[in-house]
């Protein structure tokens, strides 16, 4: 893919001065074996520089992202990773540059690790584990190690388990850092079971694995010393990452560097003993026993990025507001505010900064917009007003005036005009509802923030009443985070708050209807609830604050028609206005007259008796609105595939789909209620209710993309979000202000999102928190490699691919076929597969498409063709997971003699719970005497309560008609013994669930310790949607007041799965679980 270019901020943020003679953020530095040259990555290209420093030579100049250089043993070539074909592949280039050669072609992510000799490169990739190993199939989490020739060709698997940062001595012994499971790679300062250790692998007939470090924190990046007997590595044993020297077998190491704040990265060593490493964005060398020397580097190259990139955008609106006259819509596009005509493409840009604006709203007169902007790192409110009185529309306005409305030190956003236009309500610190008077600028509090909690920005809802005197809001009160209500607030900030719904269900999104005499809101009280985890179907309800309005609403169609006729006759009897008033009205037609709105009066004592469910069927709803007359409900709901717009005629009790697949979003009616406006993922649209016509709202928006400025804004935004929302206010003692300055200075030297996400992750890693770090989601390969769903025989060296095993439910099992293990696939779509040749290109882009395999059966001597549809690697990984679970089940059956059941909880979510519920309470499991509950390699979710309840059943009665036992109570729980398997790769709620299981004394935990990660996260997308970062923001405490974050969960029975055993297919943890349960079962006679 093309590198995302960055430029210098010109608006809103301070500019940068790029200094090529003192570059920063030089990453992946590695010294050549001969000790003369250092290769490194800078701005997405590979450079080299003499070890003494000086002018760097640019080795690659492709607009793609090039990274992770590795030297050949003779120091003549460099292998590196590049995404020039869409995903990261391994390339090789001469040390002085030239055209690189592509070595790997799979559409996954391949990164070079080391050269085994001058002719072969080891690389990491998640392609396919071996058939024998019991490594968990994790879709890229546990990569394999492969070897490929420097000429290219078919990769050969070296290890089915992950081995990172490999260093090989002359005897072939490999040092590597292990990978036990998921955690952000750049997390620092944690002492945790998930932290990496240094191991040594000695190949041979009986390969040996030896753990060399045992510090509970991070030990990384081992490199052999020239003698091949001692080694260097990085460790946080005494604080920050520093360099240590150790001899295999020694209990202690010698610390060589003593940095106290920033981490040492990218350790490498030359054959003369000189070490090279990165520190604080620069490169250093160190001769053991001497002093570290900074490598002074200058870079002279043409600049390939821009300060500003002018663009015209016609898509990408993320939110929308409709003007009072329905002729314009204001919208937000990549953080800027625009207004466009509903009928034409003409578009006016309102803001133009690299900062983010959002939550735009029109004033009732249509001449002013209010919005929030995060300038200077703080959300505040701004208004933009049409200056010239003769100009009525923003779209065609020639002069606008922007003013800052709020001036506080607290985040202020989500502004909303009162219907009379005199005040604006907004959120302060995300949950406090405040109101500013536009004339006096006085600000008052309407609801204290303690009555709400904002999980993610934009999740709060409130709305002004038609008379501008009241506000409806979501409300959690005390401890009601999972049981929200709707509250009525006096907009003057005085008087008692009234909880209108008072239910144990989730109620919210309340809207005033029928002139303020009622409200509609969403509730899950009648919907189907998720069997496990969170989630439920919703309905729309109406609550009446006025008895007369309620009685009128209940009238049938005939009664309503008679009443309307009577009201019409009474109006005609009253007569028309006199001619003088009519002329005056005509003369003042262009003047806005303030319409008097009668103050609302509420009968709240009987409100619970005046509730009506409006939707016929519960469903997953995006939004709903009631017609002005209250006779029709319009709502967005998903029953099949995508959100449809539904209409329910309340008088005729008829429900129908108006439009299919319109998308999810907020329904915004115009004043007459004839049209609905919607901003969905596929764009903005106007929906004419009569005739069910949908028209896209098109625009042509000029957008100034300032890449450097936008990234500086994102950096500041992320820093501030963490400062505001991290799960403990003191950020665990982190010097967050100091780290802001430490990392911000790297921004001028970053011109792509790979480096940007890595730098953000380094900063976020200082928090020592789970669920954080930044992610960059690149577009990936245009033609993903397809899979056949088979294991190949790695020992086979002839032409074609020899099948070792066909995975259950894979394409070759979908129909009757002569293909079986031992057969050789000779051709794919007529192209022969030669011995040692790379076959991945033959399967590019062919998932779901018919492919012809030419197959040879050596047993029968028969050659034949087989047509099938390959699957994606994601689909194959799902089959590998099912195979892994089935193998575990068979082993438990074997170990226990059929007495013990086995279930694996894949994720802490509803589909996983339904699976374990079905399997655990099935007849086959009911016959068993106990169960092994396996939570290993579970990435989390929210399921601890349901799992604990399911496994904690205590039989208290039996159903026995005429002596026949037919069942027990409780019938929906497991009533027999259980134990739970855990490992280092349990994360988030997969830490919380075993914690609850152990705390409640349901059974024993067996396996490896689990890192303390039971904290709820918000993964927030940025204005550049390819960048996402996490905030661990809701900490969970035990009943002794201890946060579970960073609190290791120890198993009752400690068992590790050793590498040799894993590769042979042995699972010691599973065996220990069965042995434990068997001890508690009665002896079989």
8 A C-beta contact, residue 936 and residue 528: no
- Type and span of the H or E element at 685: strand 683-688
Mean pLDDT of 608-628: 96
Q: What is the DSSP letter of 945?
A: H
Rounded-to-10 torsion of CA 545, 549, 551, 552: -160
189, 717, 771, 944: which is the annotated catalytic residue?
771
988: left (phi over 0), alpha (psi -120 to 50) or beta: left
8 A C-beta contact, residue 719 and residue 740: yes
Give the residue among 812, 920, 891 at the shortest CA–CA distance from 1064. Answer: 891
Res 305: pLDDT: 85
pLDDT band at 440 (very low <50, low <70, confident <90, very high): very high
Q: Give the strand pairing for 668-669 and 198-202.
A: unpaired
Question: Residue 902 is encoded by which pair of tokens?
Answer: 């086995």
Mean pLDDT of 959-971: 95
d(CA 916, CA 929): 17
Res 590: pLDDT: 46
Cis peptide before 392 (omega within 30 of 0): no
The reply to whether 1045 belongs to the active site is: yes
Q: Among all chains, which residue has been given the structure tokens 């590498």?
A: 1059
373, 912, 1045, 1076: which is the annotated catalytic residue?
1045
Q: CATH for 899-1012+1048-1080?
A: 3.90.226.10
Q: Give the strand pairing for 254-255 and 242-246.
A: antiparallel
Res 20: pLDDT: 67
Distances (CA, A) of 101 to 679, 834, 836: 47, 20, 17
Res 566: pLDDT: 86
273: left (phi over 0), alpha (psi -120 to 50) or beta: left
Distances (CA, A) of 961 to 646, 964, 973: 50, 5, 22
pLDDT in tens, 1054-1070: 999 999 999 999 999 99
8 A C-beta contact, residue 340 and residue 347: yes
Mean pLDDT of 55-59: 97
Strands of 264-269's sheet in order across: 264-269, 275-279, 282-286, 293-294
pLDDT band at 683 (very low <50, low <70, confident <90, very high): very high
pLDDT in tens, 700-751: 999 999 999 999 999 999 999 999 999 999 999 999 999 999 999 999 999 9
75, 826, 988, 1076: which is the annotated catalytic residue?
988
CATH architecture of 23-162+289-303: 6 Propeller (2.120)
Whether the pLDDT of residue 582 is over 90: the answer is no
Ranges assigned E (strand) in 45-107: 45-50, 54-55, 57-58, 66-71, 77-82, 89-94, 101-102
Chain center to CA of 647: 34
d(CA 157, CA 129): 9
Mean pLDDT of 661-687: 93
**Domain limits, the chain:** 23-162+289-303, 163-269, 713-776, 786-873, 899-1012+1048-1080
Give the residue among 982, 1002, 991 at the shortest CA–CA distance from 935. Answer: 982
Whether the pLDDT of residue 585 is over 70: the answer is no
pLDDT band at 989 (very low <50, low <70, confident <90, very high): very high
Res 588: pLDDT: 52
Res 564: pLDDT: 85
pLDDT band at 696 (very low <50, low <70, confident <90, very high): very high
pLDDT band at 516 (very low <50, low <70, confident <90, very high): very high
Res 1084: pLDDT: 81
Mean pLDDT of 645-668: 94
SS3 757: helix
The domains spanning 23-162+289-303 and 163-269 adopt the same CATH topology: yes
- For residue 684, give every residue at least 6 positions away whose Cβ sits within 8 Å of its Cβ, in sequence order, or none: 317, 320, 329, 331, 677, 678, 696, 697, 699
HSE, side-chain direction, 13 A CA sphere, residue 245: 16
Chain center to CA of 696: 30
pLDDT in tens, 928-946: 999 999 999 999 999 999 9
Distances (CA, A) of 696 to 344, 685, 913: 10, 4, 41
pLDDT band at 574 (very low <50, low <70, confident <90, very high): confident
Whether the pLDDT of residue 21 is over 80: the answer is no
8 A C-beta contact, residue 614 and residue 523: no
Mean pLDDT of 559-575: 82
Strands of 693-696's sheet in order across: 668-669, 675-680, 683-688, 693-696
Chain center to CA of 13: 28
Which fold would CATH assign to domain 163-269? Neuraminidase (2.120.10)
d(CA 63, CA 44): 8
Chain center to CA of 774: 10
Mean pLDDT of 610-630: 96
Pick the CATH number of 713-776 from 1.10.3720, 3.40.50, 3.30.750, 1.10.3470: 3.30.750
Whether the pLDDT of residue 699 is over 60: the answer is yes
Res 6: pLDDT: 36
Mean pLDDT of 653-670: 94
Backbone φ and ψ for 608, nearest 5 degrees, come out as: -70, -20
Q: Which residue has the higher pLDDT, 237 or 12?
A: 237
Res 584: pLDDT: 52
d(CA 679, CA 695): 12
d(CA 139, CA 1035): 29
Q: Among all chains, which residue has been given the structure tokens 């028609």?
A: 561
Res 301: pLDDT: 84
Residues 394, 395, 401: CA angle, nearest 5 degrees: 35
Q: CATH for 786-873?
A: 2.30.42.10
Q: Which residue blocks in 340-413 are alpha helix, DSSP H? A: none
How many helical (H) and strand (E) elements, i.e. helices and strands, does the chain have? 13, 74
8 A C-beta contact, residue 498 and residue 608: no
Res 563: pLDDT: 87
Q: Among all chains, which residue has been given the structure tokens 């005499």?
A: 517
- For residue 1083, give every residue at least 6 positions away whose Cβ sits within 8 Å of its Cβ, in sequence order, or none: none
- For residue 111, give every residue at least 6 positions away whose Cβ sits within 8 Å of its Cβ, in sequence order, or none: 68, 81, 88, 90, 123, 124, 125
Q: What is the DSSP letter of 881?
A: H
SS3 1062: helix
Residues 110, 116, 122: CA angle, nearest 5 degrees: 10
Whether the pLDDT of residue 33 is over 90: the answer is yes
CA-based max dimension of the chain = 109
Whether the pLDDT of residue 980 is over 60: the answer is yes
Buried b (16+ CB within 10 A) or exposed e, 557-596: eeebeeeeeeeeeeeeeeeeeeeeeeeeeeeeeeeeeeee
d(CA 966, CA 957): 11
The per-residue pLDDT of the chain, averaged, comes to 94
Whether the pLDDT of residue 862 is over 90: the answer is yes
Residues 516, 517, 523: CA angle, nearest 5 degrees: 85
pLDDT in tens, 354-369: 999 999 999 999 999 9
Question: Residue 152 is encoded by which pair of tokens?
Answer: 């290219």
d(CA 119, CA 107): 23
Res 29: pLDDT: 98
pLDDT band at 8 (very low <50, low <70, confident <90, very high): very low
Buried b (16+ CB within 10 A) or exposed e, 759-768: bbbbbbbbbb
- For residue 78, give every residue at least 6 positions away whose Cβ sits within 8 Å of its Cβ, in sequence order, or none: 39, 46, 48, 59, 69, 70, 71, 72, 92, 93, 94, 95
d(CA 665, CA 621): 10
Res 817: pLDDT: 94
Whether the pLDDT of residue 219 is over 60: the answer is yes
d(CA 944, CA 933): 13
Res 36: pLDDT: 98
pLDDT above 70 covers a percentage of the chain that reads: 96
Whether the pLDDT of residue 578 is over 80: the answer is no
Cis peptide before 970 (omega within 30 of 0): yes
HSE, side-chain direction, 13 A CA sphere, residue 846: 22
């Amino acid at each position: 893919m093309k590198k995302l270019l960055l430029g210098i901020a010109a608006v809103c943020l301070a500019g940068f001065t790029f200094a090529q003679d003192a570059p920063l953020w030089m990453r992946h530095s590695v010294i050549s074996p001969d000790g003369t040259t250092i290769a490194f990555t800078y701005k997405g290209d590979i450079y080299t520089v003499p070890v003494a420093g000086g002018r760097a030579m640019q080795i690659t100049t492709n607009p793609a992202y090039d990274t992770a250089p590795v030297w050949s043993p003779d120091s003549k070539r460099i292998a590196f990773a590049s995404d020039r074909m869409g995903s990261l592949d391994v390339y090789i280039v001469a040390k002085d540059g030239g055209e690189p050669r592509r070595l790997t072609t799979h559409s996954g992510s391949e990164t070079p690790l080391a050269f085994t000799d001058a002719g072969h490169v080891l690389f990491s990739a998640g392609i396919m584990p071996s058939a024998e190993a019991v490594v968990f199939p994790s879709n890229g989490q546990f990569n394999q190690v492969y070897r490929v020739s420097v000429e290219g060709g078919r990769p050969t698997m070296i290890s089915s388990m992950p081995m990172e940062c490999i260093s090989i001595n002359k005897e072939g012994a490999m040092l590597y850092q292990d990978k036990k499971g998921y955690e952000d790679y750049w997390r620092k300062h944690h002492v945790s079971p998930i932290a990496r250790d240094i191991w040594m692998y000695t190949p041979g007939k009986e390969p040996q694995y030896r753990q060399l470090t045992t510090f509970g924190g991070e030990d990384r990046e081992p490199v052999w010393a020239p003698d091949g007997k001692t080694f260097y590595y990085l460790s946080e044993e005494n604080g920050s990452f520093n360099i240590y020297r150790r001899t295999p077998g020694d209990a202690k190491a010698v610390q060589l560097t003593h940095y106290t704040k920033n981490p040492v990265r990218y350790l490498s060593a030359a054959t003369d003993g000189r070490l090279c490493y990165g520190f604080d964005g620069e490169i250093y060398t160190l001769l053991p026993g001497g002093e570290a020397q900074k490598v002074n580097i200058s870079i002279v190259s043409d600049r390939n990025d821009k300060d500003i990139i002018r663009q015209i955008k016609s898509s990408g609106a993320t939110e929308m507001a409709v003007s009072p006259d329905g002729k314009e819509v204001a919208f937000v596009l990549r953080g800027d505010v625009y207004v466009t005509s509903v009928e034409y493409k003409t578009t006016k840009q309102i803001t133009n900064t690299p900062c983010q604006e959002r939550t735009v709203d029109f004033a009732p007169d249509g001449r002013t917009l209010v919005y929030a902007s995060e300038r200077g790192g703080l959300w505040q409110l701004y208004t933009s007003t049409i200056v010239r009185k003769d100009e009525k529309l923003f779209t065609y306005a020639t002069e606008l005036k922007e003013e800052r409305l709020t001036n506080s030190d607290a985040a202020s956003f989500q502004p909303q005009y009162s219907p009379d236009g005199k005040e604006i309500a907004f959120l302060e610190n995300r949950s406090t509802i405040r109101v500013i008077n536009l004339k006096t600028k006085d600000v008052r509090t309407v609801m204290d923030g303690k009555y709400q909690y904002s999980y993610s920005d934009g999740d709060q809802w409130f709305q002004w009443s038609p008379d501008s005197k009241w506000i409806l809001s979501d409300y959690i009160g005390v401890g009601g985070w999972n049981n929200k209500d709707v509250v009525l607030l006096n907009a003057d900030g005085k008087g008692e708050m009234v909880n209108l719904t008072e239910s144990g269900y989730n109620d919210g999104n309340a809207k005033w209807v029928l002139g303020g005499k009622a409200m509609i809101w969403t509730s899950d009280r009648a919907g189907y609830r998720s069997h496990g985890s969170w989630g439920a179907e919703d309905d729309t309800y109406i609550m009446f604050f006025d008895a007369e309005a309620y009685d009128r609403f209940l009238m049938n169609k005939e009664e309503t028609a008679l009443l309307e006729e009577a009201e019409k006759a009474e109006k005609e009897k009253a007569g028309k206005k006199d001619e003088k008033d009519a002329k005056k009205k005509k003369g003042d037609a262009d003047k806005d007259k303030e319409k008097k709105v009668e103050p609302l009066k509420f009968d709240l004592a009987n409100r619970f008796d005046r509730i009506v469910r409006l939707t016929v069927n519960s469903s997953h709803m995006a939004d709903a609105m009631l017609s002005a007359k209250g006779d029709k409900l319009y709502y967005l709901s998903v029953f099949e595939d995508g959100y449809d717009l539904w209409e329910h005629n309340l008088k005729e009790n008829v429900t129908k789909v108006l439009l299919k697949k319109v998308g999810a979003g907020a329904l915004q009616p115009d004043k007459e209620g004839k049209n609905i406006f919607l901003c969905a993922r596929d764009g903005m649209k106007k929906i004419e209710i009569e005739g069910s016509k949908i028209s896209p709202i098109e625009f042509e928006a000029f957008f100034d993309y300032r890449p450097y400025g936008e990234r500086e804004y994102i950096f500041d935004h992320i820093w501030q979000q963490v400062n505001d929302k991290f799960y403990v206010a003191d950020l665990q003692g982190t010097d967050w202000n100091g780290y802001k300055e430490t990392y911000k200075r790297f921004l001028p030297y970053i011109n792509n999102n790979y480096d940007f996400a890595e730098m953000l992750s380094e900063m976020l890693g200082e928090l020592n928190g789970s669920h954080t770090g930044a992610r960059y989601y690149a577009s990936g390969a245009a033609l993903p490699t397809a899979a056949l769903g088979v294991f190949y025989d790695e020992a086979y060296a002839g032409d074609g691919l020899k099948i070792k095993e066909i995975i259950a439910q894979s394409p070759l099992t979908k129909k009757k076929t002569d293909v079986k293990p031992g057969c050789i696939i000779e051709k794919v779509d007529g192209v022969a597969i030669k011995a040692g040749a790379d076959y991945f290109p033959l399967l590019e882009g062919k998932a779901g498409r018919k492919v012809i395999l030419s197959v040879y059966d050596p047993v029968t001597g028969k050659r034949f063709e087989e047509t099938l549809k390959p699957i994606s690697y994601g689909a194959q990984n799902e089959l590998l997971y099912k195979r892994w679970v089935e193998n575990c089940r068979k082993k438990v059956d074997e170990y226990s003699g059929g007495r013990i059941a086995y279930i694996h909880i894949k994720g802490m979510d509803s589909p996983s719970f339904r699976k374990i519920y079905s399997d655990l309470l099935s007849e086959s499991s009911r016959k068993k005497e106990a169960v092994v509950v396996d939570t290993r390699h579970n990435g989390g979710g929210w399921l601890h309560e349901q799992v604990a309840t399911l496994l904690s059943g205590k039989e208290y009665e039996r159903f026995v008609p005429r002596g026949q036992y037919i069942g027990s109570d409780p019938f929906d729980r497991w009533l027999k013994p259980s134990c739970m398997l855990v490992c280092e790769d349990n994360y988030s709620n997969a830490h919380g669930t075993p914690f609850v299981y152990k705390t409640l004394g349901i059974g024993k935990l067996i396996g490896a310790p689990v890192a303390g990660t039971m904290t709820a996260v918000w993964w927030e997308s940025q204005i550049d949607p390819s960048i996402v970062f996490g905030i661990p923001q809701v900490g969970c405490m035990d009943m002794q007041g201890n946060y579970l974050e960073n609190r290791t969960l120890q198993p009752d029975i400690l068992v590790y799965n050793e590498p040799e055993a894993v590769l042979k297919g042995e699972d010691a943890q599973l065996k220990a679980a069965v042995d434990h349960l068997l001890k508690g079962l009665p002896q079989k006679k």
